[in-house]
């Protein structure tokens, strides 16, 4: 019983230490998301030839809001498939705030952003070169307000940031409990996964596809705990577009196309992770 009490206490303290910084980060993100997104919306519409580059750039912002608006625009035939996939690949959801909350991991955060940006740009343009997307939407003055953090901002960004910070705190707390328990009881299995980079990358990419911020939290915490490599983390986060993927399947009527996009980002994630593992 003392073993579980120790794991519980250590997990709570580790998560609690991150809470103040996480709140500051999410308050800033909520402020950015709360502003009118009409500029971003129309920028994508105007810049179709450089859509993959813009998509990769906006995707690096630490939230999945841009993946949401990208899914909506793609379903309306307003952006290309390459732009959509570039945003999906560049999006890291909760990974960036968690890494920022660990000052000793800032270099890892910059590496992650840089690698995912490059991968997003390359594959975004390649997909647009080989896949021609019908575009038929025009610029609009309608306001486009979207949230990737899944919290309503009707009661103000402060409350939304508090709720989201507590939610991520809970995720981190639970993940740490599971990891602490697993280290004691299923260490042979964990070692089996750790010793096989290919299997590790494939599992990380499959997990990353889950359309929920918990997926990026788990992958990042596994990396911080030394259970998966940086290459597996990068590959897994390349497949993770947060709730953007969920919006795509809900908004885009062409389900065959949706599954094709899902397979493409999974293949890109596995390929990128394996290439990184060589270095």
Is the model's pLDDT at 139 over the cut of 60? no
Is the model's pLDDT at 36 over the cut of 50? no
Kindly state the average pLDDT of the residues 171-182. 71
Q: Which tokens go with 232?
A: 């597996």
Kindly state the average pLDDT of the residues 162-189. 70
Q: What is the 3-state secondary structure (H, E, C) of 177-198?
A: HHHHHHHHHCHHHHHHHHCCHH
Kindly state the average pLDDT of the residues 61-65. 68
Kindly state the average pLDDT of the residues 133-142. 57
Number of other CB atoms surrounding residue 274 within 10 Å: 17
Q: Residue holding tokens 């750039």?
A: 57
Sign of the alpha-carbon dihedral angle for 101, 105, 107, 110 = negative
More confident residue, 239 or 40: 239
Q: Which band of pLDDT confidence, cut at 50, 70 and 90, is reported for residue 190?
A: low
pLDDT of residue 50: 74
Helix H or strand E segment including 168: helix 157-185
pTM for the model stands at 0.78
pLDDT of residue 138: 52
Q: Which band of pLDDT confidence, cut at 50, 70 and 90, is reported for residue 89?
A: very high
Q: What is the 3-state secondary structure (H, E, C) of 238-278?
A: HCCCCCHHHHHHHHCCCHHHHHHHHHHHHHHHHHHHHHHHC
Q: Which band of pLDDT confidence, cut at 50, 70 and 90, is reported for residue 102?
A: confident
Percentage of the chain modeled with pLDDT above 70 = 71
More confident residue, 116 or 170: 116
Distance of alpha carbon 149 from alpha carbon 147, whole angstroms: 6
pLDDT digits (tens, 9 = 90+) for 242-268: 778 888 988 898 999 999 999 999 999
Distance of alpha carbon 109 from alpha carbon 203, whole angstroms: 21
């Amino acid at each position: 019983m003392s073993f579980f009490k120790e794991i519980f206490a250590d997990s709570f303290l580790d998560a609690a230490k991150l809470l103040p910084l996480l709140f500051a980060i999410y308050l800033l993100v909520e402020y950015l998301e709360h502003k009118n997104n009409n500029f971003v919306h129309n920028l994508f519409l105007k810049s179709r030839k450089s859509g993959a580059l813009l998509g990769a750039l906006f995707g690096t912002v630490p939230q999945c809001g841009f993946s949401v608006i990208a899914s909506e625009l793609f379903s309306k035939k307003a952006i290309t498939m390459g732009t959509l996939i570039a945003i999906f690949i560049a999006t890291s959801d909760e990974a960036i705030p968690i890494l920022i909350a660990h000052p000793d991991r800032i270099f890892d955060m910059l590496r992650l952003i840089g690698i995912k940006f490059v991968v997003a740009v390359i594959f975004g343009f390649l997909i647009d070169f080989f896949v021609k997307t019908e575009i038929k939407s025009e610029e609009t003055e309608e306001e486009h307000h979207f949230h990737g953090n899944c919290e309503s901002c009707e009661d103000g960004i402060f409350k939304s940031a508090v709720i989201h910070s507590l939610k991520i705190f809970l995720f981190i707390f639970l993940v740490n409990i599971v990891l602490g328990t697993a280290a004691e009881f299923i260490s042979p299995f964990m070692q089996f996964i750790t010793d096989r980079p290919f299997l590790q990358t494939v599992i990380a990419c499959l997990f990353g596809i889950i359309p929920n911020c918990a997926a990026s939290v788990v992958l990042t915490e596994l990396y911080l705990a030394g259970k998966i490599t940086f290459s597996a983390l990068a590959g897994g986060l390349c497949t993770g577009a947060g709730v953007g993927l969920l919006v795509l399947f809900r908004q885009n009527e062409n389900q065959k196309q949706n599954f094709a996009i899902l397979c493409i980002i999974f293949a890109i994630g596995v390929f990128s992770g394996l290439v990184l593992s060589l270095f």
